[in-house]
Homo-oligomer: A and B are copies of this chain.
Amino acid sequence: MRESELTGDQLLQALSTLANPHRLRVVAALRPGRQYVSAMARQLGISRPLLQMHLRKLQAAGLVTAQLELADDGKAVNYYSLTPFALHLSPDTIARAVHTLSDGEEGR
């Protein structure tokens, strides 16, 4: 994921997604390796539904991916892992992205 291929809307989504302390912590918690939701909720000290909501946003922005695994015994565990990304934010990169920013009147 390179910022040079990001549209303004994608950049905005990435920023909105990362602009939250819980989600930053999730990214940090996922950096050493994948993790499943209940364990992460305990580790971060937040409720499971809340974490799920944050994970959904991270996934929608393409920053994490989910792998539902049905381990040999039949138990279902949903692992989340990080998508490697590198965003460079500067007045220049922002100015370029703004050209492809929609007005927000799209799907209406």
Contact = CB atoms under 8 A, between A and B. Distances in A.
Interface of A: 8, 11-12, 14-16, 18-21, 24-25, 27-28, 30-31, 82, 84-92, 94-95, 97-98, 101, 104
Contacts of A89: 14, 18, 85-89
Contact of A91 (B15, B30, B95): B30
Q: Which secondary structure dominates chain A's binding surface?
A: helix
B91 A88 contact: no
A98 B24 contact: yes
Nearest to A25: B98
Contacts of A12: 19-21, 24
A29 B27 CA distance: 32
A5 to B, nearest CB: 15
Given A85-B89, A87-B88, A101-B21, A94 B8 contact: no
A25 B88 contact: no
